[in-house]
Amino acid sequence: GAVVSQHPSRVICKSGTSVKIECRSLDFQATTMFWYRQFPKQSLMLMATSNEGSKATYEQGVEKDKFLINHASLTLSTLTVTSAHPEDSSFYICSARDMGTDTQYFGPGTRLTVL
């Protein structure tokens, strides 16, 4: 199946710093990528939809100035958590839609811990 990578897999940072997470589709092109957040034993919460070459669409309640998304190419989307606070600590997962098969593939996730 198609492969989606995320980097870093784990990050620990101090409160007030910014963290960038990369999501790459390795063997297919993705005009659309999705960013999710998942708390322990909870389902995936869609944060935003990232479209290549245009602005991301954010879900209600998600601060676009705090969670900056850039989809610079057909294989790369980045999520930057700005001025991170402990309440931003979570598991962030991206997914990419394979244009050829119309199937969504997930990355392995990034665990963010803000001290």
Binding site for other proteins (CB under 8 A): 1, 4, 6, 32, 34, 41-44, 46, 49, 91, 93, 95, 97, 102-109, 111
Q: Give 16 or 108: the residue with its C-beta nearer to other proteins.
A: 108
- Closest to 7 measured CA to CA, from 26, 27, 22: 22
Q: Cα 100–111–30 angle (5° rounding)?
A: 15
Q: Give 73 or 103: the residue with its C-beta nearer to other proteins.
A: 103
Cβ 83 to other proteins, closest distance in Å? Answer: 26
* Burial class of residue 87 (count of CB atoms within 10 Å of its CB; 0-12, 13-18, 19+): exposed
Cβ 104 to other proteins, closest distance in Å? Answer: 7
